[in-house]
């Protein structure tokens, strides 16, 4: 999943910077506010993808969909705190220069927060494939044992 998130975020940040006239090969984005918006997008995107990862990796092989989300009473409080902190870093004016961020557009946020379900679904697909392949291997082993007896 890290490759997917990295590629998606780079595509998004290059698109944001491209809106300001930047092109691949240029050294720097001429508008500092657009540069900071791209930086903020990377930060928020990593955080959003980690929310999807948090839900998906609550089990190593079984589906996370089978788990009770209320099982961990701190889960949603932690996500809320993390999101509130990130929103402060991106939208509170005196924090923006300290962290090199700028306000994101609704379009930016929609794209970035779509990473969470995308990461979750890809991890669920990986676990399903691992379970399926394990079942196939177990069946082959059982057939070999039955034939050798």
Note the pLDDT tens digit of each residue in 3-31.
888 898 998 999 999 988 888 888 888 88
Share of the chain above pLDDT 90, in %: 50
Share of the chain above pLDDT 70, in %: 97
pLDDT at 2 over 70: no
Confidence of residue 1 (pLDDT cuts 50, 70, 90): low
Going by C-beta distance under 8 Å and a sequence separation of 6 or more, which residues neighbour residue 117? 52
Going by C-beta distance under 8 Å and a sequence separation of 6 or more, which residues neighbour residue 50? none
- Crossing angle of the two packed helices 2-19 and 32-56, in degrees rounded to 10: 160
Residue 105: its pLDDT value, please? 93
pLDDT at 144 over 80: no
| Distance (Å, whole) CA 116 – CA 31 | 29
- Count of CB atoms within 10 A of residue 92's CB? 13
- Count of CB atoms within 10 A of residue 69's CB? 11
- Count of CB atoms within 10 A of residue 16's CB? 25
Does residue 142 or residue 70 have the better pLDDT? 70
Residue 28: its pLDDT value, please? 84
pLDDT at 69 over 90: no
| Distance (Å, whole) CA 148 – CA 123 | 37
């Amino acid at each position: 999943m890290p490759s997917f998130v990295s590629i998606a975020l780079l595509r998004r940040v290059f698109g944001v910077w491209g809106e300001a006239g930047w092109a691949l090969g240029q050294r720097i984005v001429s508008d500092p506010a657009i540069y900071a918006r791209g930086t903020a997008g990377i930060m928020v995107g990593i955080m959003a993808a980690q929310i999807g990862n948090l839900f998906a990796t609550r089990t190593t092989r079984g589906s996370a969909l089978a788990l009770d989300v209320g099982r961990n009473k701190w889960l949603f409080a932690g996500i809320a705190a993390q999101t509130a902190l990130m929103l402060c870093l991106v939208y509170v004016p005196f924090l923006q220069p300290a962290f090199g961020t700028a306000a994101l557009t609704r379009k930016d946020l929609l794209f970035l927060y779509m990473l969470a379900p995308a990461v979750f679904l890809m991890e669920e697909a990986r676990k399903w494939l691992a379970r399926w392949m394990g079942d196939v291997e177990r069946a082959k082993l059982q057939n070999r044992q039955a034939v050798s007896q």
